[in-house]
Amino acid sequence: MKKLISILVLGLAYLHLQATDKKPNFIVIFTDDQGYQDLGCFGSPKIKTPEIDQMAKEGARYTNFYSANAICSASRAALLTGRYPSRNGVFHVYYPGASQGLKPSEITIAEVLKTAGYRTSIIGKWHLGDRNQFLPTNQGFDSYFGIPFSNDMWMSKDLALADDIKLFGGVTVEQIKSGEASKAVKGEKRGGKVPLMRDEEVVEYPVDQTYITQRYTDEALKIIKESEKKKQPYFIYLAYAMPHVPLYASPKFAGKSARGPYGDTVEEMDYHVGRILKHLKSSGADKNTLVIFTSDNGPWNLGERGGSALPLRGAKFSTYEGGHRVPCVMWWPGTIPAGTDSAEIATTLDFMPTFAKLANAQLPNRTLDGKNIAPMLRDGNKGKSPYEKFYFWSKNHIEALRIGNMKLRMSWDKKNNVRKETELFNLEGDIAESHNLAPQMPEKVAAMTKMLLEAEQEQLVQAEFETPVPQAPSFTAATFIQSSGHQYKNVAKNAFDKNEKTRWTPKGQKNLWLQIEFKEAQTSSEFKITWEKEATYRYAIGTSMDGDNWDILLNKFGNRTRETVSKNSTSQKTYRFLRLVIFGAEKGTKIAVREFSY
């Protein structure tokens, strides 16, 4: 009998091991412009969200959860890459037909999870470039179904059209291809007529957004069921269009919310989140699926058409709490303790490292800003945040820094290119950021200001070195030189004499670079640069053996004159690539380097 019991125990242990080794599914539900208060479980007085409220009871509510940016494109790029805008290069919003997007060289969650056997799908808003090279299916996703940008935008004439495209409102293919379909009608505001895409092609134009929330959810459930049938783990990024304006709700929900049309859209999303959770429970996949509900940024300040970030200060576009802090509910029965109510800091940056850890997938060999928060999730109310600092980026600058409960904010005056004001808040007792402590705590302000400025500089510099330059062609000379401007004086085409006085005058652009690739590895302990004229830009010098992983030797900021600046290493550096980067050059500026020796 004892032998039988032992065998039974071993068998059960083996089955448990098999179950715990099963890769979890991931569903990220990402809403658009939903405010911190705009869920029942986050205190909304008029919006009813019983499904998400129940999700929080069965899982966790995180009240100090941040989106990594306060605007659409930048927040989405940060979520998918686990990197601040300074590193992934997405600082602004992309418009239809833009020549830029999320760089193909960036590695997304989808690309990481595909290496671990996951099916990867995005449904809804992409907003990281609508040209083919930037589309989701070229960024690690197996499939895409959705509106490629904000639902108030327009159709790009360059988008590929499906052979069986459905056209509405009298629109013709010829009007789309000529651009006529996206022009503003006299007396009307441009925008709001948007395409629906399947993978790389437009399948409907203009799409009727009345049922868009339902259609997105139907697509998610279809993928879930197909994956369950194939027994394949999946990652679904469900990026709802709502409650971004213009607001659309289906007839079942339109006019029902006490909060008006905005509330209608949120209550409809709540219903459809409930559909997903109910299916996971009925299929038995609930204990193997992590579902996260959160928003891309704070609410757009549009009165009744926008949401509420109360009791926080600020809204979308802002580095006050209301711009970045968003509602977040996570659900994973059996793993996340039910009823968790955590004030620990977590962010959308954490999805990449957390999912990779849980899926046993290899993280990319580059700097990530997100943290693995899996231990925090499992520990429930006892879980501790891995964060020491969190940076609030606004376009090309860090405007705020949070350390513990202290938050320093230094807003940027774009017109005059200077910091406008300095504010210091203790968020523990002042969640509304209404009491500026800066005048009373100058030492704290000075210390945090130093951290903020140094972090901004370090991240921007490192990002520039991580940005790949065009691959050099095969060359026979000792070196190959290329730059962002491709203009040279007194430089042999494919050669470089390290003692030659060289004038490098590239075309003016935001950041300028000059890279020297050596045929053979070099060893140096000193690097010198002499400017021909006075300059006020910051610059950096880095070395690399492979052109991908850089050791930044000199990171110089402030005014510079014609004097030579040198950097002596504690040990000699061996390298095949040497790069000089100059930051913040204005359009049309020409910068001359008289000597760059090593």
Nearest 5°: phi and psi at 514?
Answer: -130, 125
Nearest 5°: phi and psi at 263?
Answer: -65, -35
Annotated active-site residue 127? The verdict is yes
Closest by alpha carbon to 579, among 455, 435, 469?
469
Closest by alpha carbon to 58, among 377, 338, 376?
338
CB 121 within 8 A of CB 232: no
**The pair of three-digit structure tokens given for residue 341, joined into one six-digit string:** 């109510």
Residues forming a β-bridge with 593? 531
Beta strands in 374-444 (DSSP E): 389-394, 397-403, 406-413, 418-426
Active-site hit among 41, 72, 328, 397: 72
Active-site hit among 41, 92, 127, 435: 127
The single-letter DSSP state of residue 313 is S
CA pair distance 449, 406, nearest whole angstrom: 12
DSSP string covering 273-304: HHHHHHHHHHHT-GGGEEEEEEESSS----GG
Per 3-state DSSP, the chain is made up of helix, strand and coil in percentages (nearest 5) of: 30, 30, 45
Sheet with strand 160-167: strands edge to edge:
160-167, 201-205, 196-198, 143-146, 119-124, 234-239, 25-31, 289-295, 328-331, 60-66, 340-347
CB 298 within 8 A of CB 318: yes
CB 253 within 8 A of CB 51: no
**Residues carrying an active site annotation:** 72, 127
